[in-house]
Amino acid sequence: MDRVVSIKATRLKLTEELESYVMKKLSGLEKLINAYNKNARVFVEVARTTRHHKTGSIYYAEVQVMPPGSKMGLRAVAEKNSLYEAIDRAKDELKGELQKEKEKRITNVHKGGEKIKKEMRSVR
């Protein structure tokens, strides 16, 4: 996936295995990201939230999709017991956000078409 601009690891080591796992998971969203914005960039952060906890939600994953020149983008955050679970959850959350945006865009196109049809009928 060419869109991933950066993968940042906080309080843990970014291994090649972890990086390839993130890339593999996000490559499945390529089509939805294209529908959202063809030039959007993806930023990923994975982290261990604390060093002293042994159980609970100690791993964190955040994925942001930012269109160029925009301050608003889509963001998904997850905290889980396992780093891989957190990445999977963040990916699923981002997928839902991307699908919501796609549906909004389609709905707006349909509304625009309805307005045009209404105008055409009133002209006759």
Q: Which long-range contacts (CB under 8 A, 24 or more apart) does 26-31 make?
A: 26/1, 26/63, 26/91, 27/1, 28/91, 29/91, 29/94, 29/95, 29/98, 30/1, 30/3
Supply the pTM of this predicted model.
0.84
Cβ atoms < 10 Å from Cβ of 71: 6
Domain boundaries 4-97, corresponding CATH code: 3.30.160.100
Q: pLDDT band at residue 1, thresholds of 50, 70 and 90?
A: low
DSSP single-letter state for residue 9:
E
Domain ranges (residues) in the chain: 4-97
- Mean residue pLDDT of the chain comes to 90
Q: What is the pLDDT of residues 44-95, one digit of tens each?
A: 999 998 877 767 778 999 999 999 988 889 999 999 999 999 999 999 999 9
